[in-house]
Structure 1
């Protein structure tokens, strides 16, 4: 299943929360002792791709490895997911805008 199909499934899956009446997928803040099982499956896949890379990655790289389109709107959606994982301490963003796993 490609990323676009997974997004369609994600939209139809039961939502973990709602914001302004819209269903949203909640990504928890990482806390000590918490493992990635706390993340929704699609975010775990993103985390796996970043973890398996030999160097910090860009959103386009993650899209390619998840067999998703690299067109701008899909790439920006992926960048949003990567930034969300960064904001919640699952990833780290380098000064050059690439992403790595948190040690």
Structure 2
């Protein structure tokens, strides 16, 4: 029997929220957009009311912020600081 191809990632629709990142990523984006300057992972962790004293709690958040940078939603400055892209602040598409 021939195997069928399965679509793992759905196509983007016309609605604004369909193509957006999941809820926890939207929270991270909101924190970085509201900040006056670069946001460190530890500060974002504290803002999300996560335990920032344990390095193991920072790594999942750092991975999400790095993923947002890879998707072009954030700009990574060094290994621990992130800023919003200019268009992500409402200045462009």
Give the structure-1-normalised TM-score.
0.62
Segments of 5+ residues of structure 1 without an aligned counterpart are: 1-16, 18-25, 27-33
Instruction: Kindly indicate which of the two structures has a greater share of residues assigned to helix.
Output: 1
> What does residue range 1-103 of structure 1 map to in structure 2 within 5 Å?
37=17, 38-70=20-52, 71-95=54-78, 97-103=80-86
**Could you tell me how far 1:76 is from its partner in structure 2?**
1.0
Segments of 5+ residues of structure 2 without an aligned counterpart are: 1-7, 10-14, 87-93
**Could you tell me how far 1:97 is from its partner in structure 2?**
3.9
For the residue of structure 2 that corresponds to 1:89, the secondary structure is coil
* Whole-Å separation in 2 of the counterparts to 1:87 and 1:94: 12
Q: Which runs of at least 4 in structure 1 moved beyond 2 Å after TM superposition?
A: none
Aligned-pair Cα RMSD in Å? 2.0
For the residue of structure 2 that corresponds to 1:46, the secondary structure is helix
Please tell me whether Structure 1 or Structure 2 has the larger radius of gyration of its CA atoms. 2
